[in-house]
Structure 1
Amino acid sequence: MSEQTKSGTVPAPAASGVRAPWEAVPAELRAAVEARLGAAVLAAETQSGGFSPGVAARLRLAGGRRAFVKAVSAAANPESPGIHRSEARIAGALPAAVPAPRLLGSFDRDGWVVLLFEDVEGRTPAQPWQPAELDRVLTTVAELAALTVPEPLPVPPAAERLGEDFAGWRRIAADHAAGADDLAGLDPWAVRNLSRLAAAEADWAAGAAGDTLAHSDLRADNLLLTDDGRVVVVDWPWACRAAPWFDLLLLLPSVAMQGGPRPAEIFDHHPAAAGADPAAVSAALAGFTGYLLGHAREPAPPGLPTLRAFQAAQGAAALRWLTERTGWA
C-alpha cells in the first residue's frame, strides 16, 4: 500500500531529482567560477529541488559574499546543456521588472555549461500549500501576466516553444491506431475520449497566443519566498510569448497535486484569466495534460529518475480539471 498522510491522501511526489555535488565540476572549471566571481569558494550547499541532473548549489565565498551556481554536462543528460544555454540567454536579458535572480555570468567549456546567479535568501512554498503563501504566489502570477515581452528578449511564441510537447494525445492516438500502444494504464475517461482529446489539443496554439512574458514552468520548486515578502521566480529556460492566463493554467495542476485548491476555484476568479476564451483555455489544458500523461508513460530520461512519477501525479490533477471543463462522459 502507498504511504499516506494522516488525512488519508497519498503525498505528492517530491519535486526533486538527483543532483551532482559541486565537486563533480572539473577542477579547472571550478577555478574559472572563482575567477568570474572574484573570490574563492569556501563552501557549497547543494539544493535538491528541481529535476536537473547537474549541479545546483549555493556558494559561500571568501569575503562573505554568496552566489548560486548551476552546471551540467551532456554526460548527465544529453539535453540538459542546451536547456542551460537557453536559460543563460533568457536570464541575461530579463527586464528588471521580472522578479528573477540576476545572472552574474555564464560560460560553455569542455562539454560543461555553467551559470552563475545572485544568491536569493528564500525558501520554496510549504507543502501542502498554505493559503497565505499561495496568495503571495498568485499575486506574483498576476503581476507577471501584466508584463509584455520587451525586445530583444530572445523568447519564441508558445506554439514554437511547446508545439511538439503539446501533441501528447495525438501521439498516443497515432500509436494506438498503429498497434504500438494498447493504452494500458491510461485513465478510462481518457481512453473513451482519446479522439476528442487529440482534436482539442490540436487547437491550443492559436488560443494561447499573446505577447505576455510566460515562464511556462511555474511550480513550487521554481519559486522562492523571501522574508521581506517577495516571490522570486527561478529557472527561465522555457520562457515564451503567450496569453496572460497561460502561466496560471500551467501552475494550477501542480498546486492541486500538492494539497492546494481545485484549479477551477482559482483560475475562474484570477485577474490573469479575466476575459479568457473558455475554448482556448480548454484546448491549452488538453495540450498540457497530454504532455504530462504522455511523457509519464515513457521511460525516465537519463539522470532524471524521479521525473515521470511527478509528471504522472501532475497529469492526474490536470486531467481532473479537464474532465470538469469539458463535461464529457
Structure 2
Amino acid sequence: MREPKPYWREVPQELREQIVEIVGSPIRRATRVFGGYGPSATFRIFLEDGKTIFAKGAGKGSISGNWDAIPNEEFVYQNINAIQSISPSYFGSVSVDGWHLLLLEDLGGTKKVPPWSEKLGMQAVRDIASFHLRGISEGTKVEILDGDGIADNWNTIKNNHDEWNCFLELFQEDRVEAESWLDSVIDVLMMAEKELLLRDQPWGLIHTDIRSDNLRFRNGNLVLFDWALVRRGPLMFDVGFFFPSVEGEGGPLAESLLSEYLKVMKDGGISFPSYSAKCVAASTAGFFASRAGKPVIPPLPRLRQVQRLQLGPALRWACSVLELPTPPKLNFNL
C-alpha cells in the first residue's frame, strides 16, 4: 500500500509559474514520486530545456508533520554549510496558500540501496563521519535533540502494561521465552538508554533519520536528503540509528560499520567514550521495540513495516554491545 500523495494536476497554476521563474525554463510535464513513508507532495519535474528537478513539500492531503517539516528543511538548506557536499543541490522554494515546495537536484539517476554491499556500507559511514566533522561548529544553529521518545522507551515498556504486551506480541509463539528474556535484560537497557544525552561525548550536527530511503550514492559518494529533523545532539546517535537499517536490508553488521566510523572520526581528532555505543544501541533498540508492534497509521501505511525490519538488528546489536542474552526470534510478517 502506498501513501496518499497529490497529483501534479492539483498543483495551482500560480505555484507552477513560481517554479518556472526560479528554474528559468517552462515545465514540460511532471510526475509523482513515491518514497519515504508519508503523504508529502513529491514530484519529478521535466523542463523544456531537457533538465529535471525534484520538488518536495506539503500540499493537498499533507498531514501536520509535513507542514512542520518543510520550513525546518528549508532553513537547513539555506543556512547549514556542512550539508552542501553531502546533499542535493538546493534551487529555492515556492509557496501559495495550501502549498509549500522545495526545489532540489533530481537524484533519479543515482544509485539506490538496497541491495547493500560491504563497500557501499563503509562508504556511507565514512561520508557520514566527514559530515559530522564538518558540522560540529554549526551545531548551535539548530535545536537540541529532545530525549522524549528516544531515551525513555525501555522505561515506558517496563512501566506500561499495554506497551509491555505490545512488544511481546511480536514474538508470538515464543512469547513466554521472550518475556523471560525481557525480564532479565530490561533494567540494563533502561540504564543504558538514560545515558544517551550525556554531554561528555562528542556532540554536533546530526541528521537523526538516516536510512536507505533517505539516501543515494552519486559517483560513489553518499548523498543524504530529508533534512527536516536536523538537530544538535550526540554524534553517535546518527550512525547508531542508521546501522539496523543497513543490516535489516542485508548489508554489513553494526560492528563493522561502527569500527569504520570510529576510525574516520579518530583521524579527524574526535574520540568517543566507551558508553556512547552502548547507550545508542540501547536507545535505538528501544525506539523500534516501542513502535514496531503498534497498529498501522493510515497516512503512513508502510511505517510499521520498516520499523519491524530494523527491530531485529537493533535488538541483536544492543544485546551484543551490552553483553546481554540474545532474544528469541521475532515472529511477524513484513
Class of the TM-score when normalised by the shorter of the 2 chains:
0.7 to 0.9
Q: Write the deviation string for residues 71-126 of structure 1: whole angstroms up to 9, x where unpaired.
A: 22483322211012211111221216542123222244323331111333543434
> Within the alignment, does 1:143 sit opposite 2:130 as a pair?
yes
Aligned to 1:129: 116
SS in structure 2 of the partner of residue 49 of structure 1: coil
- Partner residue of 1:41? 27
Partner of 2:258: 267
1:205 and 2:197 are equivalent in the alignment:
yes
**Aligned equivalent of 1:182:** 165
Structure 1 residue identity aligned to 2:121: L
Q: Percent identity?
A: 25
What is the distance in 2 between the residues matched to 1:26 and 1:112? 8
Aligned-partner Cα distance in 2 for 1:191–1:122: 49
Quickly say closer, same or farther: Cα 1:17–1:281, change in 2 above 3 A: farther
> Does 2:216 correspond to 1:242?
no
Separation of aligned partners in 1, 2:60 and 2:292: 23
The answer to whether the 8 Å contact 1:124/1:221 transfers is: no
Q: 2:15 aligns with which of 11, 22, 29?
A: 29
* 1:117 aligned counterpart, secondary structure: strand
Report the alpha carbon displacement of residue 300 of structure 1 after superposing the two structures with TM.
Answer: 2.9
CA contact (8 A) 2:5 2:61 kept: no
Alpha-carbon distance in structure 2 between the residues aligned to 1:122 and 1:323:
39
Pairwise CA RMSD? 2.8
What's the counterpart of residue 44 of structure 2?
Answer: 58
What are the ranges of 5 or more consecutive residues in structure 1 without an aligned counterpart? 1-13
Q: Is the 8 A contact 1:298 1:308 kept in 2?
A: yes
Name the structure 2 match of 1:167: 152
Q: 2: CA distance between counterparts of 1:129 and 1:326? A: 26
Distance 1:203 1:152, change over 3 A: closer
Taking the aligned partners of 1:73 and 1:209, their CA distance within structure 2 comes to: 40
Aligned to 2:217: 225
Contact 1:34 1:40 in 2 (8 A): yes
Partners of 2:131 and 2:29 in 1: CA distance: 34
Aligned residue type for 1:86: N
**What is the number of equivalent residue pairs in this alignment?**
310
Compared with structure 1, are the counterparts of its residues 154 and 193 closer, same or farther at alpha carbon in structure 2 (3 Å cutoff)?
same
CA distance in 2 between counterparts of 1:100 and 1:170 reads 36
Q: Give 1:219 shift.
A: 1.4
Is 1:76 equivalent to 2:56 in the alignment? no
Structure-2 residue corresponding to 1:309 = 305
From 93, 98, 102, the counterpart of 1:115: 102
TM-score if structure 2 supplies the norm length? 0.81
- Find out whether 1:318 has 2:314 as its counterpart: yes
- The structure-2 alpha-carbon separation of the partners of 1:255 and 1:311, relative to structure 1 and needing over 3 Å to count, comes to same
Return closer, same or farther for 1:232/1:172 CA change in 2, 3 Å cut-off. Answer: same
Q: Is the 8 A contact 2:36 2:213 kept in 1?
A: yes
The structure richer in helix per residue is 2
Instruction: Judge conservation of contact 1:155–1:239 (CA < 8 Å) in 2.
Output: yes
- Unaligned runs of 5+ residues in structure 2 are 172-177, 326-334
- The Cα of 1:311 is off from its aligned counterpart by 0.7
